[in-house]
Amino acid sequence: EVQLVESGGGLVQAGGSLRLSCAASGFTFDDYAIGWFRQAPGKEREGLSCISNSDGNTYYADSVKGRFTISSDNAKNTVYLQMNSLEPEDTAVYYCASTLVYCGSSWYSVPLDAWGQGTQVTVSS
């Protein structure tokens, strides 16, 4: 019943921008936190950012602070990740995931309830 669907990935040049979307259904959106992860081939999954939909509290990993911005539109049950100043090192499959755990510094260590299918982001030099 719970479903998350990512969209917005693609191919961009270094310095460009993309806006990813995570559309949620099958649960009470305001009760959950939703976050973004990425994984490149041969690399561990990396937590990037999360947001608690109840009050808008956010967290960012150091690698994306100042470049990426997470936001939510509760009326549309959608979370966005605005990615600016993209670098080739940002190339990865990007996933969104949800949990009832409040977004904070330890959020990435807790089990996630649902995952999207991922969307590919490729940044060229």
Q: What is the pLDDT of residue 106?
A: 85
Q: What is the pLDDT of residue 59?
A: 96
CA of residue 15 relative to chain centroid, distance: 19
pLDDT by position in tens, the chain (length 125) = 789 999 999 999 999 999 999 999 988 888 899 999 999 999 999 999 999 999 999 999 999 999 999 999 999 999 999 999 999 999 999 999 999 999 988 888 888 889 999 999 999 99
Q: What is the pLDDT of residue 90?
A: 97
48-86 burial code (b ≥16 CB/10 A, e <16): bbbbbbeeeebbbbeebeeebbbebeeeebbbbbebeeb
Q: What is the pLDDT of residue 80?
A: 98
Q: What is the pLDDT of residue 14?
A: 98
Q: What is the pLDDT of residue 10?
A: 98
Q: What is the pLDDT of residue 34?
A: 96
